[in-house]
Structure 1
Amino acid sequence: MEQQEYAVGATRVAAGRTDGRTGGAGRGTAAAVLAVRGSGSGSGSDSDSGSAAEAAVDGVAEGSADGPQGAAEGLSPDPGLLRLAHWFAAATPGTADDLCTASFGLYSARHLGAAAEPADPAVSWWHGPTAHAAVPRAREARTEGGLRRARRDAAALPVVRSGAKPGRPGRHRRQELGRELPDPLRELQDRSAEELPEAERRIAARLLLAHPLVTASGPHADGFPLIRRHRDWLTERFDTLLGYRLTVGPWHARLCKAGLGPGAVRRLEHPATGAPFTPAGYAQLALALALLVDAPEQLRYGRLLEAMRAAAPDLAPDPPALGMALAALAEWQVLGELSADPADPAGPVDPAFVLTVDRELARAVPVGPPGLADSAADLIRRAAEAEPATAVRRLLAETPAVLAADLPEDRRAWLAEHRLSGPAALAEFLGLETELRAEGVALLDPAAELTDLALPGTGTLAQAALLLVEQLVEEVRPLPGEPGEGDVPIPDALIDGLLGDIADDHGLPTRYLADRTALRRDALDLLHGLGLITPTPRTTWLLRPPAARYAPAPDLHPTPSTGRHSRPTPPPATREGLRA
C-alpha cells in the first residue's frame, strides 16, 4: 500500500522532506544504481542512515567550532570519481563532453523532426523527397532579452509538468514557456482498455530515453507511476534492445545509458542559462560528487568547500565552474534548493549555508566506475563498446541518423543485413518513424518531443539554421545523375554569404545583427549537433546527406532577396536542376 501511494505521487511530510523520505538514502530505498565505493562504504543501511544523521547534527549545528582542518573530516572522496575529476580538468572541451557522456550517461535522445517521406530505400538522401517545412519569410519581431534558444525547454520533451511539487520552479529550473505544450499523457484518455498498457509503456520508454534519471518528486513525476507500473517490461526491453540497465526504486528510476564514443556532440549545459559546461565545470561536478556519495544529509557549504580543497588541492574551486556544478546537482535533485539570492549566479557563497544532500541520487549519477579505465580516452572507448547489433541500435535510438560510412565493418554488415527489422523494432518500441535511404537510416520523431535539439524548431536561431541548411543544400548538393552518397564540402565564403542574406532578409535579435560571428557559430553548432554538417581537420565544414531532407520546396513565387552577400545566382537551368 505504501509503495502504491508513493507511485501515484502522494505527498508526505517526514523528517523535513516533502516527498516522504527520511534520510540521505531514503526510507525503504532499493539498492543504488551504482555503488561507486565497495561494500564497506555507504550502502544505505539503517546504521548508515543513523551515522549520517549524527554527522548532520555535529557538522551543521549552529555555532559548530570545526575549523578548516576539521571541516574536511568525515568527508572522504570516492577515489574513482576523484580520478575522474582530474581527467576532466586535463581534457579539451570536446573530450570533456565525451567523457561526461561516458561516465554519467545523462544525455537525451536526439532525433530529427518532420514526418518520413515515402521513397525507394535505394534512393540517396541527396535526391530523395524533401520533408521541407516552410520558414516564415516575413521579418520576425525582435523580443526583449535577445535570443530564444533553439534548445528545447525540458517541459517540451515527452513528459508533463509535475504536480508533486507545487509552487514556483527551483532557482536553477528553466522557466516554463508561455504557451501550451503537448501533453503526451492526454492521449491515454482516448485509448481503449486494450491499447492503454501499450501506450503507457511507450510514454514511459520515451520519458526514460529523454530523461535517464526520473524522480518521484521532480519535474517529471507525473510519468514516474508509469515507469513503476511497467518496470519489469521496460527493464527487459531496454536490456534486450539497447543493453541498458534500468533500476526502479520507490523514489527514482535510473536508465544507465552507454557512452556514444568520441565526437558525440553532447554536452551538459547550465540548467538556467544554457551556458555549456567547461572542463573546469565538469571537474568541479565530479569532485563534488566524489564527496557527496557518502556525505551527511545536512552539510554546510563551507564544509564541502574545505573538503574539496583537501581532496584535490590542484583543483581549486573556481566560482563560475563550481556554480555550474552545483546547479546541475540541484537540477538532478542530488542537492536541494540552493541560495535564494537571485543575484548570486554562482550558487551559495555563505559558508554557513546548509545543503540538503541526497546520497542515493548522488550514487545514481555515475554509470561506470572510472577505476576500470587507464585514461579518459580509454573510458570513452570502453563506455561505447558493444556487440554490433546493440551498438547500432543504440545509435539509432540516440542519434539523428546512422550512416553506413561512419560505422566499422562489423556494424556496417549488421545494419545491411537487418536494415528493415533492426530499425523497425526500435521504431515500434519508441513510437518513431523509419526513414531508409541509400546512405543509412534515420528514426524520426514528427512530434519533435524525443529530442533535446529541434529542427524545424521555434525561435530565431532554429529558423536561421533551417534557412541556412536549405540554402546550402540547394547550392552544393550533387545534381541528379552525379555520384552522391557522401559528404559535400561547403565553401566558407558561401556560409558567410548566406548568413549575411538571412540577416538582411529576416528579423534577428540585436545580438546577431551586431555580431555575425555569433550567428555563424550558433547556427553551425546547432546543425552540427543534429548531424547535418560535420567539421574537417582543416576547420572547414562538410554537408552530410541527411541535410537534403530539408531541401527547399519549389517556390513558384519567390520572395526577392538582396543577395548582397551571396555569390551570383546560378542560371535558371542549373537552379531548376538543383531543385529537382
Structure 2
Amino acid sequence: MKQQDYAVGATRVAADRPDGRTGGSGRGTADAVLAVRGAGPADRAPGAAAADGADGPRVPDRPAVDPAAGTAVDTAVDAAADVTLSPDPGLLRLAHWFAEVGPGRADDLCSASFGLYPARHLGAAAEPAADPGVSWWHGPTAHSATSLRAREDRTEGGLRRARRDGTELPVVRSGAKPGRPGRHRRPEPVRVVPPTVPPQERGGEELPAAERRIAARLLLAHPLVTASGPHADGFPLIRRHRDWLAERFDTLLGYRLVVGPWHARLCKAGLGPGAGRRLRHPVTGAPFTPAGYAQLALALALLVDAPEELGYRRLVDAMHTAAPDLAAEPADLAMALAALADWQVLGELPADADDSFVLTVDRELARAVPAGPPALADDADDLIRRAAEAEPATAVRRLLAETPAVLAADLPEDRRAWLHEHRLSGPAALAEFLGLEAELRAEGVALLDPAAELTDLALPGAGTLAQAALLLVERLVEEVRPLPGETVTGDVPIPDALIDGVLGDIADEYGLPARYLSDRTALRCDALDLLHRLALITPTPHPTRPPAWRLRPPAARYAPAPDLQPAPGTGRHSRPDPLIPSPAAHGSERRA
C-alpha cells in the first residue's frame, strides 16, 4: 500500500476505501477519526517512485546542507517562509481532547490515536504444569530463574547485600546460611551460544521462518521502523516478507502493516479504557502530561504538510496561532519535540534549541504517526472506545500479544467464552508467530518472552528499581498467597502495613542508592508503579485516601516454592505472627 493511500482524510476514506470491516485502529473502515491530509505527488520525497530491491530500499538523494556555510539553510528557510502552515483539522481536534482529559485518559487517548506503544510480556518461563487448570497461586514458579545475582556479579546500579557482621546476617526462609548464596543471590549463568549452521546446510524453510519471526517481533516491539533508525538492520527483513507479515498481522490481530520505501508502520489498535500505555520522554523517561500530549498532537498537525526545512520559531508561532488556548510550558513543548525526533519525524535536536534553529521535517513519517482509528469519534471517550473495538477472537489475541497476562475474570462474557473455547489453539498460534511461550493456568493465559526482547519492561531486570520490585512481589506472595483449598475469587488484598514492612526489610538487607535511602516514599511509589504496569498488582481507588493494593494471580509465578506453613517475617519491619503472644502479653499474664 502506498503511503499516500494510508494517510488520508475522512472524506477520502469514506469515498475510496469503504471495506466495511471493524476492528479498531488496526484495520481501515469506512469512517475516520483523524483527518490527516493525503500526500500528493508534489509531497513525495525525491526518489520515492524508484524501484527498490527485495533486500532493502534505495535511500533517496537529498541535497547536502552545510550548517557552517549557512547559504543552503538560509535559502531553504527563505523558500519555506512563503508556505502557509495550516493545521490538520483532525489532529488539531485531538490536541484539544488531550488538553481536556486527565492523565490516565490521556494515556488511553495516546494509545488509541497513535498506537506506538511496544508489547509487554513477562519473562523467565516456569516449569510446565502437569495440569493447565492449576492455579497460578499454587502452580510451578519461575523463582529459581529470577533470583538476584550475587554482589560481585551484579549490574551497575543494582541492589547488593548490605555490609554487616556474619553474626548479624539474617537467615532467609529458604534455609540459606550466613556466608552462602541465599535465594536472592546466584552467580551469573553461563550463556551457551548454539553453533552456527552455514546457510547452505539449513533447511529450505528454516531461514525464511526465522526471518519472519524476527521481523514480526521487531514490529510488535517497535511499530514504526525506519531504514535509517536504530532498528535499520531489521528493516530489510520486513520489506522482504512484507506480504506474509501483512497477512498474518491482519488475520491474527487485525493490525494494518504499511511498508514504504524507507519505513514500516504497524498500525496498532487501542487498548481500551484504563489500559493505555504512558508515553515517556525518550531521554529522561519522564511521563507525558496531558499538556505534553496536546503539544505533540498540535505540532504533528502542522508537520504533516510542513516544508522539509522549518525554522523552530516559525513552528512555535504557528502552533500558538493554530491553538492559542493550548499554551503550554516550555518543558511540555520540549517533550513533544523530543518524541517527534525519536520517531524521526524531526531531525536531531540540539540540547538548547534557540529561535534560529532550523528543523528538518520528514512529512512521510509525520503522516505515518497517526494510526488513525477509522471512525468519526464524537469525543475522547468515543475515540478510546472505538479504537479498541474488535470481534472477540481478535480482541483476546490482541491482549495476549500486547499485555503480560490475560485473566478470564477481566474479560466480558463473549471474550471469556472465546478464550475458554480456544484455550489451547488461540495462544499457540500467537506463540508460534511471535516466538513466545504460552503459560496456561486456571485464571488465564500469559505469553512469555524469556529472551526479554519483546517487552518494554523486564522482570527480573537490571537496576535497583527492578530488583527491589522483584523482592517486593515475591515476599508479598509469601505473606498473602491463599493456601490450597481456600476459595479465592479474583485478586488478594495486600495490607498496607505489609508493603511498608517488606520494603523496610529490603532496605535493611540491601544497600540502596542515596535517592531511595533519603526518600522511602519514592521507593514505594516507583516499585508499586512498576508492578502495576506489569499487571502483577492492581489498585482499588478510594475517594479520600491513597488506593489500596491487591495482588494478582500471575504475581505468584515469581514466588518461591509454596510454603504451606509460612514462618513470620524476621525483619524488624515485619508484622508479628498473630498466633505468638507478644512480650507485653506475657507481662500482663504474669501480672495477672
The bucket for the TM-score relative to the shorter chain is 0.7 to 0.9
1:312 aligns with 2:316: no
Contact 2:136/2:554 (CA < 8 Å) preserved in 1?
A: yes
Q: What RMSD, in angstroms, separates the aligned Cα atoms of the two structures?
A: 3.4
Could you tell me which runs of 5 or more consecutive residues in structure 1 were left unpaired when the two chains were aligned. 1-27, 149-179, 573-580
Q: 2:17 corresponds to which residue?
A: none
Alignment of 1:437-456 (within 5 A): 437-456=441-460
Say whether residues 1:100 and 2:110 are aligned partners.
yes
1:44 aligns to 2:34 (yes or no): no
State yes or no: 1:354 paired with 2:349.
no
**Contact (CA 8 Å) 2:108, 2:271: kept in 1 or not?**
yes
CA distance in 2, matches of 1:215, 1:188: 29
Does residue 495 (structure 1) correspond to residue 506 (structure 2)? The answer is no
Secondary structure of the 1:314 match is helix
Match of 2:549 among 531, 541, 545: 541
**Contact kept in structure 1, 2:309 and 2:360, CA below 8 Å:** yes
Deviation, structure 1 residue 330: 0.5
Amino acid at match of 2:548: T
Q: C-alpha offsets along residues 55-105 of structure 1, whole Å, 9 cap, x if unaligned? A: x99997369789xxx979611001111111111111111111111000000
Greater Cα offset, 515-524 or 257-266:
257-266
SS of 1:31's equivalent in the other structure is: helix
Match of 1:332 among 343, 356, 368: 343
Deviation at 1:48, TM superposition (A): 3.6
- Contact 1:29/1:250, CA 8 A, preserved across alignment: no
CA contact under 8 A between 1:244 and 1:255: conserved in structure 2? Answer: yes
Q: CA deviation at 1:552?
A: 1.7
Counterpart of 2:6? Answer: 33
1:321 aligns with 2:318: no
Cα gap change, 1:115 to 1:336, in 2 (>3 Å):
same
Equivalent positions of 1:63-212 (< 5 A) are 74-119=84-129, 120-132=131-143, 133-136=145-148, 191-212=202-223
Distance (whole Å) between structure 1 residues aligned to residue 36 and residue 376 of structure 2: 19
Q: Does the 8 A contact of 1:80 with 1:371 survive in 2?
A: no
Answering whether residue 230 of structure 2 is matched by residue 235 of structure 1, we say no
1:61 to 70, 74, 83: 74
User: Aligned residues: percent identity?
Assistant: 77
For residue 288 of structure 2, the aligned residue among 272, 277, 292 is 277
Secondary structure of 2:258 counterpart = strand
- Are the equivalent residues in 2 in contact too, given 1:33–1:254 (CA < 8 A)? no
Task: Work out whether residues 373 and 386 of structure 2, in 8 Å CA contact, stay in contact via their aligned partners in 1.
Answer: no
Q: Which moved more, 1:80-89 or 1:40-49?
A: 40-49
What is the distance in 1 between the residues matched to 2:427 and 2:36?
A: 43
Structure 1: which amino acid aligns with 2:147? V
Superposed counterparts of 1:492-571, under 5 Å = 492-538=496-542, 539-553=547-561, 563-568=571-576
Figure out how many residues of one structure are paired with residues of the other and give that number: 498
TM-score, with length taken from structure 2: 0.77
Pair 49,399 (structure 1): closer, same or farther in 2 beyond 3 Å = closer
- Whether the 8 Å CA contact 1:32–1:360 is kept in 2: the answer is no
Aligned mates of 2:147, 2:528 — CA distance in 1: 18
Larger gyration radius, structure 1 or structure 2: 2
Q: Provide the C-alpha distance between the structure 2 equivalents of 1:438 and 1:400, rounded to a whole number of angstroms.
A: 16
Equivalent position SS for 1:122: coil
Q: Which runs of 5+ in 2 are unaligned?
A: 13-34, 47-61, 160-189, 581-592
Question: In structure 2, what is the Cα distance between the partners aligned to 1:515 and 1:73?
Answer: 52
Partner of 1:267: 278
- How far did 1:30 drift? 4.0
Give the conservation status (yes or no) of the 8 Å contact 2:113–2:270.
Answer: yes
Report the counterpart of residue 16 of structure 2 in structure 1: none
| Contact 2:139/2:557 (<8 A) preserved | yes
| Alpha-carbon offset, residue 32 of structure 1 | 5.5
> What letter is aligned with 2:421?
E
- State the Cα distance separating 1:116 from its structure 2 match: 3.7
Name the CA shift for 1:454/1:191 in 2 (closer, same or farther; >3 Å).
Answer: farther
- Looking at structure 1, the residues matched to 421 and 150 of structure 2 have their Cα atoms a distance apart, in angstroms, of 47
Deviation at residue 493 of structure 1 after TM alignment:
0.6
Q: How far apart, CA to CA, are the structure 1 residues paired with 2:39 and 2:198?
A: 37
Q: Residue 392 of structure 2 is aligned with which of 388, 393, 396?
A: 388
> In 2, distance between residues paired with 1:437 and 1:98?
28
8 Å Cα contact 1:213-1:255 kept in structure 2: yes
* Alpha-carbon distance in structure 2 between the residues aligned to 1:358 and 1:391: 33
Q: Do the aligned residues in 1 keep the contact of 2:7 with 2:37 (CA within 8 Å)? A: no
Give the match's secondary structure for 2:427. Answer: helix
CA drift of 1:33 comes to: 3.2
C-alpha distance in structure 2 between counterparts of 1:503 and 1:474, whole Å: 18
Match 1:407 to one of 405, 408, 411: 411
Aligned partner of residue 542 in structure 1, secondary structure: strand
Contact (CA 8 Å) 1:500, 1:565: kept in 2 or not?
Answer: yes
Distance 1:514 1:561, change over 3 A: farther
TM-score between the two structures when normalised by the length of structure 1: 0.79
What are the superposed Cα offsets for residues 467-495 of structure 1, whole Å, 9 maximum, x if unpaired? Answer: 00000100001111101352000111100
Which letter maps to 1:236? E
Give the superposition deviation at 1:334. Answer: 0.3
Q: Tell me whether 1:432 sits opposite 2:405 in the alignment.
A: no
